[in-house]
Structure 1
Amino acid sequence: GAGAGTGTGGTAAGPASGAAAVTVVERADDTGGHPDVVPPVRLDLARSLTLLGILSLVAGALFFDLNVGLTALTVAAVLALVSPKSAEGAAEKCAWTTVLLVCGIVTYVNLLQHLGTVDWLGEKVSAIEAPLLAALLICLIAAVVAAFASTTGILGALIPLAVPLLQDGRLGALTLISAMAICASVVDSSPFSTSGALVAANTPEEQRDYVFRSLMTWGFALIPLAPLTACAVLVLPGW
């Protein structure tokens, strides 16, 4: 007889190649150990006093004609005295270089306006016989001065000087004043103006230099471009 023998071999299961281990990290807080739960922000004494200070600043500026800068400094000093712990590090976060730079430039431009330099330039431009050239130059003056000072203030000074350009009827009053307003407004992105300075001052410190340079490049590029574009679109066609 013939005997048939069968051999059986055992199979071993090993770890599959390329398997990845995943580690899950959960963030727990102090509200019972639940992950991804943000603790609520409570209205404590310091926050309540801050809100009261902001309301006092707004009320003082609107209803009592108080100086905004001096009132804001007073409110900040009172808050620092009442809650010194919450005010720690606040002074270091202020962009003092930007503050001093803007204060110096605004003081200089206001001095020029007080001495009549801007009015003198406007009168010289108004004496130019070519109305389109005079309109371009007065828009350029509006853009240059507004990049360093108040837009409303420079418009109030230059609009009366543009009246001689409008008397002969070759330039439209609405189009010229609109062009001046546009030129004085778009340059507010300059870091030396109020709006641009606020943006630069509230930028994180590690990005402040980059934002300052970007705003300065953009704002100064608009100084020649805005008058040329506004005059070409609004003044030149004679709407």
Structure 2
Amino acid sequence: MGIETLTIISVAALLLMFVINAKLPINMGILGFVAAFILATITGVTEDEIFGEFPVNLFIILTGVTYFFGILQDNGTIDLITASSLKLVKGRRMLIPWIMFLLELLLTSIGTQGTAAIIIVAPIALRLAHKIGFNQLGMSLMVAWGMVGGIFSPLNVMGIIVRGVVEESGISFNANTLYLLSTLFAVGLAFLTFLIFGGFKRRKADQTSEISEDNAELQAILNPTIEVTPYRIVSLLALGALITLGMVFEMNMGFAGLTLGLILALFNPARQKEIVSKIPWSIILMVSGIVTYVGVLEQIGVTDYITHLVSEVDNPLLAILVTCYIGGIISAFVSTTGFLGAVVPLLIPMLATGDIWVMGAVAAVCIASSIVDICPFSTTGAIFVANAQGEAKATFYNHLLKASIFIIAAGPLVAWIVYVAFF
């Protein structure tokens, strides 16, 4: 069987996985493992070689980090961080969109899964937007950009996946730089969003006026009562330790998370069964299956052939732009978490030449693949639609869909211009 035929079959199988996953409640990781086995059998790849492509390091990191933050979610530490952040508003209405952006950025930066953070912040943000008269779409975008900035933190599942995929190729990678680049891009998007939706056109009185104390509903939202307990204090110290160990000492985040999680578990062992059951095993399975499938594609030469085709575009810069659009368009309709494991490897041969700034190219593809998550067909977009206040769901859906189309068309290009074309 020729490489061209193998490539067509492999890509068709990958696309079919995404379609099945979008239409049926079947984990894409299972599809990935089965497809890897079938493809390996057809091409003569042994089972031991398939097992060799299983991302053991990535599995440990994802399990350890999500286990640790599952404990923080369960014991109320995440709620304590959220409550403390909301108090920064101090009654100033026009700070609220920025506090929502920063809260989402903070939660995802410290390791909260992107969708979970959206579930926490979106209902609060859209309810507050309705109360202060800020545009619902504008507030949704502010929260979404906070997620984009934080999910590529070295502590977040998305950042961990990208780091694992790139480092397994042998290319030097700096997780902190990716986080910085995505955060800077997100801040720029938030500034433009705030400007476009009239944040800076409010009367001075509206910008500085405080929310009256007799507005009980707003006060209740902005000042939630979360008790500071010894367990939560220890959890915050453990969070600080995890950040230090991972970002300063570059310790394996999975083992660090498991170790610190075990220490916290001793404070309340009765909750462990439920916490472990809430580890996002479906995501871990999905990522493991897709990465294993991509590994088999590398074994049989399909990945090299595809990257060769992409590299045949006039120049590497244009090839990376094509990759950005591939990531942006497909991620609007499928899981970004799973798709990143498949699209980032396309960059590797182009980055290996040394002619392209590695971190800029990776950041551009990651940003292009994540800013489209506001699409109402995605989980994030659906959460925004479900929590819209003050206008019909159908109307808000149409507004969000139009914004998504614009972002899908322009977002990958902007990310490419900012981090690839000028470097």
Post-superposition Cα deviations, 1:15-44, rounded to whole Å, max 9, x if no partner, equal: xxxxxxxxxxxxxxxxxxxxxxxxx62536
More helix by share: 2
Unaligned runs of 5+ in 1: 1-39
Asked if residue 43 in structure 1 is aligned to residue 43 in structure 2, the reply is no
Count of paired positions:
196
Secondary structure at 1:179 match in 2: helix
Query: Who is 1:104 aligned against?
Result: 64
Any conservation in 2 of the 1:143–1:226 contact (CA below 8 Å)? Answer: no
1:184 offset after TM fit, Å?
1.1
Secondary structure at 1:43 match in 2: helix
Any conservation in 2 of the 1:172–1:238 contact (CA below 8 Å)? Answer: no
Structure 1 residues 134 and 98: CA distance shift in structure 2, 3 A: same
Query: Who is 1:207 aligned against?
Result: 170
Counterpart CA distance in 1 for 2:144 and 2:11 is 35
RCO (CA 8 Å, sep 6+): is it higher in 1 or 2? 2
Counterpart CA distance in 1 for 2:65 and 2:148 is 18
Asked if residue 72 in structure 1 is aligned to residue 32 in structure 2, the reply is yes
Structure 1 residues 224 and 113: CA distance shift in structure 2, 3 A: farther
Q: Please give the TM-score of this superposition, normalised by the length of structure 1.
A: 0.57
Any conservation in 1 of the 2:112–2:156 contact (CA below 8 Å)? Answer: yes
Query: Who is 1:162 aligned against?
Result: 125
Structure 1 residues 193 and 130: CA distance shift in structure 2, 3 A: same
1:65 offset after TM fit, Å?
0.5
Query: Who is 1:182 aligned against?
Result: 145
Structure 1 residues 86 and 53: CA distance shift in structure 2, 3 A: farther
Any conservation in 1 of the 2:148–2:183 contact (CA below 8 Å)? Answer: no
1:182 offset after TM fit, Å?
1.3
1:58 offset after TM fit, Å?
3.4
Structure 1 residues 134 and 192: CA distance shift in structure 2, 3 A: same
Counterpart CA distance in 1 for 2:169 and 2:15 is 31
Out of 138, 141, 166, the residue aligned to residue 103 of structure 2 is 141
**1:12-31 counterparts in 2 under 5 A?**
none
Asked if residue 130 in structure 1 is aligned to residue 100 in structure 2, the reply is no
Counterpart CA distance in 2 for 1:116 and 1:68 is 31
Structure 1 residues 179 and 162: CA distance shift in structure 2, 3 A: same
Larger Rg: 1
The percent of aligned pairs where both chains have the same amino acid is 14
1:162 offset after TM fit, Å?
2.1
1:101 offset after TM fit, Å?
1.3
The amino acid that maps onto 2:5 is: L
After the TM superposition, which of the residue ranges 100-109 and 185-194 deviates more from structure 2?
A: 185-194
Counterpart CA distance in 1 for 2:16 and 2:189 is 43
Secondary structure at 2:17 match in 1: helix
Q: Please give the TM-score of this superposition, normalised by the length of structure 2.
A: 0.36
Secondary structure at 2:3 match in 1: coil
Post-superposition Cα deviations, 1:159-189, rounded to whole Å, max 9, x if no partner, equal: 1112453355265544333222112113344
Any conservation in 2 of the 1:131–1:165 contact (CA below 8 Å)? Answer: no
Structure 1 residues 114 and 81: CA distance shift in structure 2, 3 A: farther
Query: Who is 2:222 aligned against?
Result: none
Any conservation in 1 of the 2:21–2:27 contact (CA below 8 Å)? Answer: yes
1:142 offset after TM fit, Å?
0.6
The amino acid that maps onto 1:65 is: P
Counterpart CA distance in 1 for 2:82 and 2:32 is 35
Any conservation in 1 of the 2:104–2:150 contact (CA below 8 Å)? Answer: no
Secondary structure at 1:219 match in 2: helix
